[in-house]
C-alpha cells in the first residue's frame, strides 16, 4: 500500500513537470477584470461557447485594477487576452503595459451601467439632487465659506423636504470600481453645486478632489463589502437605510426596492440609456492585439460581444441589465473593434 | 496552617463555617453548569438557525419547473435536405421548434416584443434538450410529441412562490400578460415540477435554470486528488522521520515549532506562495486543479504532520522495543509495526485536513480558480473551479433565482463534509486500538 502511494506521488510529480511545458499552447480565451462587467462578459462567453466552434472562455472576476495589472504583465500566452474594466484605462496603466511589451491594445466600449441609490418600498422614494447627495455623504461640507466636518445627521437637516430619518447609506468599499464611479460622478458633481468648492476646482484641482472624494467616516456611510446582494438584503430589513449599487440589482429586485430620483430623473433603463440619469458610467473591455491569431477565437469573441443580438437594444445582455449604447455608437464600436483599432487616450 | 486543619477537623464537618463554605461551592458549581449549558444551547440555536435558513432557501434548488408543449419535429426545420446527416442534425435551429410550438399554443400573440416575452417562458437552453432527443432517436423527425421543457427562471421563481402575484404589475418581474399565458398552461396541466437533475449534471451557466454544480464538483475532486497525493505521503514521511529517526537537537526543535506555526498561517498566504512558485516560477497553467491541489497541499501538510506525529507517539514504546529486541532494524520497526498501528489516527487527521481544503476559497483566488468556467473540466490541467468558489460566485449574481442555487450548493458541500467527517469517525472507531 505504501509503495503504491509513493509511486503515485512520483507519478504526480512527473505529471507536474510534464504539464508545465503545456502552458504555452492555449486553445481557450482567458478574460480577467471588473466584477461589474463580469455578468455580461460571462453571458457572452457562454453564448460564444454554445456555438460549438470554440471552447467557452474562462472569465475571472479580479476587479478593474487587478485585471489591468494582470493584463499588462506581458505578451506571453500565460497572460490574459482580454480584461474587462468598469472605467477607462489610465495613462499610467498604458505606460506599464508598454514597458512590458503590451503596446497594441484595442478598446471596446460595451455599454453603460447606472449607479442607483435605492431604498425599501415600505417607505417613500427619495428625490435627491447631487448637491444633497454630497451633503449627506461628504466627510467635510462647506458651511459659511469654510469646510467643516459633516454636521448632518438626518436627511431633513439637509433639506426640510427630505424625510426625517437618520442618514444611513450602505455602499461599496474604496477598492470597488462602483465606489470610484459614484464618487466621481455623484459626489464630484454635487460638490460643484457649492460656490466655494466650485471656485476651488478652478484654482486648486487637487484640493478640490480631496474634498469632493472624501466620504464621511462617522458611521453614516457604511461600507457593505463588494457583494451587492448583501446590500439588497440589508435594505429589505432596514427600511430607513439607503443603498448604493449597480442598476442590474435594482432591476432584479424591483418588487422590494425603489431607486431614488437624482436631479428629478428616475433611474430607469430608458433614462440611463439616453444619458438623462446623472450617475452612469461606461463599461469597457480591452483586447491584447498580440494574442489575436495565437489564441483561437479572439476575433470571433469580439464579434459575438459586439453583435446586435448581444449588446444591441434587445440583445441578451440588456436582459442581464446592461444599458446599451446608441445605435450609431454601436456601429462605430463594432467596426473599430473588429479592425482592432489601436487605443487612443485623449 | 496547622491550626486551620485542626480547626476544620476538630469542629467537624457540621461547623457553621464549613456548611456555609460548602453551600457556596455548590452554588458556584451550579452557576458554572448553567453557563456551560447556556453556551451549548446558544451554539445549537445558532447552528439551527443557519441550517434552517440554508435548507428553507435551498431545498427548492433541487426542483425544477417544466412546461409541456406539443413539439412538432418538422423535417423542414431540422433536416431540410432529408439526408439525416449527423452534422446537419446537430447544427439545426431547434429553438425554432419551441417557438413554433408556443406560437401554435397562443396564436393571438403578435409583435416582436410580445413574442419575445412569450418565448422567454421557456428556458433558452430548451433547444439543446430537443437536439439530444433527435440525436438519440432520428425517427422522431416528422412526429409531434409532448415534451416537458425547462421553464425560464422567472416562471420557475413564480411557481415556487418567490414572486408575489398580488403585487402591482410594475413591481413584479412577471407581468400580467405572462401570468395570463401561464394560467392557461396551468389550467391545461402543462406546468409541472420535477427533480432538477441538471443541477448535478450541468456546468456553471449565467442562466439560473441551466446552472449546475457538476463542473465545481469535478474541479473539487481533481483538486483534492492532487492535494491528497502530495500532502499525504510527504506528511506521513515527515512525521515518521521526526518521531522515529531524527535526533533531538536545536534544529529539529526549530522545525517542530515552525510546523506548528505553519498550521496557523492564514490560508491566503499559501495562495500568494502558490502564485509565486507554481505560476510565476514553474509556469503551470492558471486556474488548473493541479495548481489548486498543490497550493492546498501546502496548506494541508502541517495539519497532516501534526496529526500523524500524535498518532505515532500514541503507539506504546513496548511495541517498538519488542520489535527491536527481536532483531528488527529501526526502519523495520517503524514500517512493519509503528506505522500500521498508527494508520487509523493518521487517516483521520488526513481526512480532516482534506475536508478543510475542500472548503477553502481564499488561496484559490490568487491562482485564478475564482472564475466563470462553463465547461466541466476533463483533467488536471483544464481550467476548473471548486464548490466553495461556485457558491461565492452565485451569491454575487444579480438574478433572483441564484439565491436558491447558492443555498442548494451549500447543502451539497455540507453533505460532502459530513460524509468525509463521518468516514473519519468510522475509521477511528473501527481500527483504533487501545493499550
Domain boundary among B201, B222, B252: B201
Chain A residues with CB under 8 Å of B397 CB are 39, 229
State the average pLDDT over residues B32-44: 97
| Record: contact B234-A9, CB cut-off 8 A | yes
Nearest chain A residue to B375 by CA distance is A56
Confidence of residue A5 (pLDDT cuts 50, 70, 90): low
Assigned domain for B208 exists: no
State the average pLDDT over residues B98-108: 87
Chain B residues with CB under 8 Å of A5 CB are 229, 232-233
The reply to whether B259 and B363 lie within a common domain is yes
- Alpha-carbon span A274 to A276, nearest angstrom: 6
Confidence of residue A20 (pLDDT cuts 50, 70, 90): very low
The reply to whether B236 and B172 lie within a common domain is no
Scanning B110-249, the segments in alpha helix (DSSP H) are 112-119, 126-136, 153-159, 176-187, 198-201, 214-240
State the average pLDDT over residues A260-266: 89
pLDDT at B389: 93
CA dihedral in degrees (B420, B422, B428, B429; nearest 10)?
Answer: -160
- Alpha-carbon span B185 to A72, nearest angstrom: 54
Tell me the longest C-alpha to C-alpha distance in chain A.
Answer: 83
Assigned domain for B160 exists: yes
Residue B423: CATH number of its domain:
1.10.3720.10
| Lowest-confidence pick of A8-22, B28-42, B189-203 | A8-22
Is the pLDDT at B7 greater than 60, yes or no?
A: no
Chain B residues with CB under 8 Å of A320 CB are 206, 398
pLDDT at A1: 45
pLDDT at A23: 44
Q: Domain range holding B14?
A: 2-59
The reply to whether B251 and B197 lie within a common domain is no
Q: Which of A94-103, A183-192, A209-218, B223-232 has the highest mean pLDDT?
A: B223-232
Q: Residue A161's CB: how many other CB atoms inside 10 A?
A: 9
Chain B residues with CB under 8 Å of A251 CB are 398
The reply to whether B131 and B47 lie within a common domain is no
Using CB atoms within 10 A of its CB, is residue A96 exposed (0-12), middle (13-18) or buried (19+)?
A: middle
pLDDT at A15: 52
Assigned domain for B206 exists: no
pLDDT at B51: 94
pLDDT at A49: 86
Assigned domain for B209 exists: no
Is the pLDDT at B4 greater than 70, yes or no?
A: no
Distance from B263 to chain A by nearest Cα, in Å? 22
A2–B contact, CB cutoff 8 A? yes
pTM: 0.82
Side-chain-side CA neighbours of residue B99 (13 Å): 13
Q: How do residues A126-161 score in pLDDT, each as one tens digit?
A: 888 888 999 899 888 888 878 888 888 889 888 888
Q: How many helices (H) and strands (E) does chain A have?
A: 17, 13
SS3 B149: strand
Distance from B188 to chain A by nearest Cα, in Å? 29
Mean pLDDT of chain B: 88
Is the pLDDT at A109 greater than 80, yes or no?
A: yes
A69–B contact, CB cutoff 8 A? no
B270–A contact, CB cutoff 8 A? no
Nearest to A42 among B171, B368, B372 (CB): B372
- Alpha-carbon span B31 to A262, nearest angstrom: 58
pLDDT at B5: 53
CA dihedral in degrees (B280, B285, B290, B296; nearest 10)?
Answer: 40
Domain boundary among B41, B59, B77: B59
Chain B residues with CB under 8 Å of A52 CB are 90-91
Of B67 and A21, more confident: B67
The reply to whether B18 and B167 lie within a common domain is no
Cell 472548503 found at: B359
Assigned domain for B242 exists: yes
The reply to whether B410 and B306 lie within a common domain is yes
State the average pLDDT over residues B383-408: 91
Mean pLDDT of chain A: 85
CB contacts under 8 A, A 165-204 vs B, are none
pLDDT at B174: 82
- Alpha-carbon span A129 to A325, nearest angstrom: 25
Is the pLDDT at A266 greater than 50, yes or no?
A: yes
pLDDT at A22: 46
Distance from B261 to chain A by nearest Cα, in Å? 26
The total number of structural domains that make up chain B: 3
The reply to whether B357 and B254 lie within a common domain is yes
B232–A contact, CB cutoff 8 A? yes
Confidence of residue B219 (pLDDT cuts 50, 70, 90): very high
State the average pLDDT over residues B71-83: 82
Q: How do residues B307-345 score in pLDDT, each as one tens digit?
A: 999 999 999 999 999 999 999 999 999 999 999 999 999
Confidence of residue A36 (pLDDT cuts 50, 70, 90): confident
Domains annotated on chain A, with CATH: 25-111+282-338 (3.40.190.10), 114-280 (3.40.190.10)
Domain boundary among B11, B32, B59: B59
B366, β-bridge pairs: none
The reply to whether B220 and B325 lie within a common domain is yes
Confidence of residue B11 (pLDDT cuts 50, 70, 90): low
Chain A residues with CB under 8 Å of B286 CB are 30, 78
Assigned domain for B313 exists: yes
Is the pLDDT at B433 greater than 80, yes or no?
A: no
Instruction: Tell me the C-alpha to C-alpha distance, in Å, between residue A231 and each of A54, A61, A185, A228.
Output: 37, 19, 21, 5
- Alpha-carbon span B286 to B271, nearest angstrom: 12
| Record: contact A60-B372, CB cut-off 8 A | yes
State the average pLDDT over residues B50-78: 89
The reply to whether B324 and B408 lie within a common domain is yes
| Record: contact B371-A61, CB cut-off 8 A | yes
The secondary structure of residue A261, as a DSSP letter, is E
Assigned domain for B207 exists: no
Chain B residues with CB under 8 Å of A43 CB are 206
The reply to whether B224 and B301 lie within a common domain is yes
B88–A contact, CB cutoff 8 A? no
A299 within 8 A of A26, measured Cβ to Cβ: no
State the average pLDDT over residues A166-187: 84
Q: How do residues B131-161 score in pLDDT, each as one tens digit?
A: 888 888 888 888 888 888 999 888 898 888 8
Model ipTM value: 0.77
Which one of B154, B279, B286 would you mutate to disrupt binding with A, by most A Cβ within 10 Å of its Cβ?
Answer: B286
Scanning A144-239, the segments in alpha helix (DSSP H) are 155-158, 177-182, 188-191, 195-203, 205-213, 228-237
State the average pLDDT over residues A62-84: 89
The reply to whether B287 and B319 lie within a common domain is yes
Confidence of residue A18 (pLDDT cuts 50, 70, 90): very low
- pLDDT > 70 fraction of chain B, expressed in percent and rounded: 97
Q: In what order do the strands lie in the sheet with B144-150?
A: B144-150, B63-72, B191-195
| Record: contact A59-B372, CB cut-off 8 A | yes
| Record: contact A5-B233, CB cut-off 8 A | yes
Assigned domain for B133 exists: yes
| Record: contact B373-A56, CB cut-off 8 A | yes
Q: How do residues B249-285 score in pLDDT, each as one tens digit?
A: 899 999 999 999 998 899 899 999 999 999 888 888 8
| Record: contact A252-B399, CB cut-off 8 A | yes
State the average pLDDT over residues B58-69: 91
The reply to whether B324 and B425 lie within a common domain is yes
Amino acid at each position: 500500500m505504501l509503495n503504491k502511494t509513493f509511486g503515485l506521488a512520483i507519478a504526480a510529480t512527473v505529471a507536474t513537470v510534464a504539464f508545465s511545458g503545456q502552458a504555452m499552447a492555449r486553445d481557450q480565451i482567458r478574460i480577467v477584470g471588473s466584477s461589474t462587467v463580469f455578468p455580461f462578459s460571462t453571458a457572452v462567453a457562454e453564448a460564444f461557447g454554445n456555438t460549438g466552434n470554440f471552447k467557452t472562455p474562462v472569465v475571472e472576476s479580479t476587479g478593474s485594477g487587478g485585471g489591468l495589472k494582470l493584463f499588462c504583465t506581458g505578451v506571453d500566452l500565460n497572460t490574459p487576452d482580454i480584461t474587462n474594466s468598469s472605467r477607462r484605462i489610465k495613462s499610467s496603466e498604458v505606460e506599464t503595459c508598454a514597458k512590458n511589451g503590451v503596446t497594441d491594445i484595442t478598446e471596446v466600449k460595451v455599454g453603460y451601467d447606472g449607479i442607483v441609490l435605492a431604498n425599501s418600498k415600505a417607505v417613500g422614494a427619495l428625490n435627491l439632487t447631487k448637491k444633497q447627495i454630497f451633503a449627506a455623504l461628504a466627510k467635510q461640507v462647506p458651511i459659511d465659506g469654510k469646510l467643516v466636518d459633516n454636521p448632518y445627521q438626518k436627511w431633513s437637516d439637509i433639506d426640510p423636504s427630505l424625510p426625517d430619518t437618520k442618514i444611513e447609506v450602505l455602499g461599496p468599499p474604496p477598492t470597488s470600481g462602483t465606489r470610484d464611479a459614484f464618487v466621481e460622478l455623484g459626489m464630484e458633481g454635487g460638490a460643484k453645486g457649492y460656490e466655494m468648492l466650485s471656485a476651488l476646482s478652478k484654482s486648486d484641482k487637487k484640493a478640490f478632489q480631496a474634498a469632493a472624494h472624501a466620504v464621511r467616516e462617522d458611521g453614516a456611510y457604511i461600507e457593505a463589502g463588494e457583494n451587492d446582494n448583501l446590500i439588497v438584503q440589508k435594505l429589505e430589513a432596514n427600511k430607513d437605510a439607503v443603498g448604493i449599487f449597480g442598476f442590474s440589482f435594482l432591476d432584479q429586485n424591483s418588487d422590494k426596492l425603489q431607486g431614488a430620483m437624482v436631479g428629478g430623473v428616475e433611474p430607469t433603463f430608458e433614462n440611463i440609456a439616453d444619458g438623462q440619469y446623472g450617475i452612469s458610467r461606461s463599461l469597457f473591455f480591452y483586447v491584447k492585439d498580440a494574442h489575436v491569431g495565437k489564441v483561437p477565437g479572439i476575433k470571433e469573441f469580439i464579434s459575438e460581444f459586439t453583435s446586435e443580438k448581444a449588446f444591441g437594444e434587445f440583445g441578451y445582455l440588456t436582459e442581464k441589465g446592461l444599458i446599451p449604447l446608441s445605435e450609431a455608437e454601436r456601429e462605430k464600436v463594432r467596426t473599430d473593434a473588429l479592425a482592432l483599432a489601436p487605443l487612443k487616450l485623449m | 496552617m496547622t491550626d486551620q486543619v485542626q480547626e476544620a477537623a476538630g469542629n467537624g464537618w457540621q461547623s457553621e463555617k464549613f456548611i456555609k463554605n460548602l453551600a457556596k461551592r455548590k452554588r458556584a458549581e451550579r452557576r458554572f453548569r448553567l453557563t456551560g449549558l447556556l453556551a451549548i444551547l446558544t451554539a445549537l440555536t445558532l447552528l439551527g438557525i443557519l441550517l434552517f435558513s440554508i435548507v428553507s432557501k435551498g431545498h427548492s434548488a433541487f426542483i425544477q419547473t417544466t412546461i409541456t408543449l406539443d413539439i412538432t419535429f418538422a423535417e423542414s426545420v431540422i433536416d431540410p435536405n432529408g439526408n439525416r446527416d449527423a452534422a446537419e442534425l446537430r447544427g439545426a435551429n431547434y429553438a425554432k421548434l419551441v417557438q413554433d410550438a408556443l406560437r401554435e399554443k397562443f396564436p393571438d400573440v403578435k409583435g416582436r416584443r410580445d413574442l419575445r416575452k412569450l418565448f422567454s417562458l421557456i428556458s433558452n437552453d430548451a433547444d439543446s434538450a430537443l437536439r439530444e432527443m433527435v440525436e438519440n432517436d432520428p425517427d422522431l423527425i416528422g412526429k409531434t410529441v409532448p415534451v416537458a421543457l425547462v421553464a425560464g427562471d422567472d416562471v420557475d421563481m413564480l411557481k415556487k412562490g418567490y414572486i408575489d402575484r398580488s403585487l402591482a404589475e410594475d413591481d413584479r418581474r412577471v407581468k400580467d400578460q405572462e401570468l395570463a399565458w401561464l394560467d392557461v398552461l396551468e389550467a391545461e396541466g402543462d406546468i409541472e415540477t420535477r427533480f432538477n437533475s441538471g443541477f448535478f449534471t450541468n456546468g456553471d451557466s449565467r442562466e439560473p435554470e441551466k446552472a449546475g454544480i457538476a463542473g465545481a464538483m469535478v474541479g473539487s475532486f481533481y483538486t483534492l486528488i492532487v492535494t491528497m497525493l502530495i500532502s499525504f505521503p510527504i506528511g506521513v514521511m515527515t512525521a515518521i522521520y521526526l518521531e522515529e529517526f531524527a535526533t533531538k537537537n536545536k534544529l529539529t526543535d526549530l522545525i517542530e515549532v515552525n510546523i506548528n506555526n505553519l498550521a496557523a498561517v492564514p490560508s491566503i498566504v499559501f495562495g500568494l506562495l502558490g502564485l509565486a512558485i507554481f505560476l510565476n516560477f514553474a509556469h503551470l497553467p492558471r486556474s488548473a486543479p493541479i495548481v489548486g491541489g498543490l497550493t492546498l497541499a501546502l496548506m494541508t501538510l502541517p495539519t497532516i504532520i501534526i496529526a500523524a506525529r500524535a498518532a505515532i507517539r500514541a503507539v506504546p514504546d513496548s511495541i517498538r522495543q519488542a520489535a527491536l529486541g527481536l532483531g528488527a532494524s529501526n526502519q523495520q520497526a517503524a514500517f512493519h509495526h509503528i506505522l500500521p498501528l498508527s494508520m487509523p489516527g493518521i487517516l483521520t487527521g488526513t481526512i480532516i485536513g482534506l475536508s478543510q481544503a475542500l472548503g477553502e476559497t481564499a488561496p484559490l483566488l490568487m491562482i485564478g480558480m475564482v472564475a466563470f468556467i462553463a465547461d466541466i473540466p476533463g483533467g488536471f490541467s483544464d481550467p476548473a473551479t471548486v464548490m466553495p468558489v461556485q457558491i461565492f460566485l452565485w451569491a454575487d449574481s444579480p438574478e433572483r433565482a441564484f439565491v436558491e442555487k447558492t443555498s442548494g450548493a451549500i447543502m451539497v458541500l455540507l453533505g460532502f463534509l459530513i460524509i468525509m467527517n463521518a468516514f473519519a469517525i468510522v475509521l477511528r472507531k473501527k481500527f483504533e486500538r487501545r493499550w
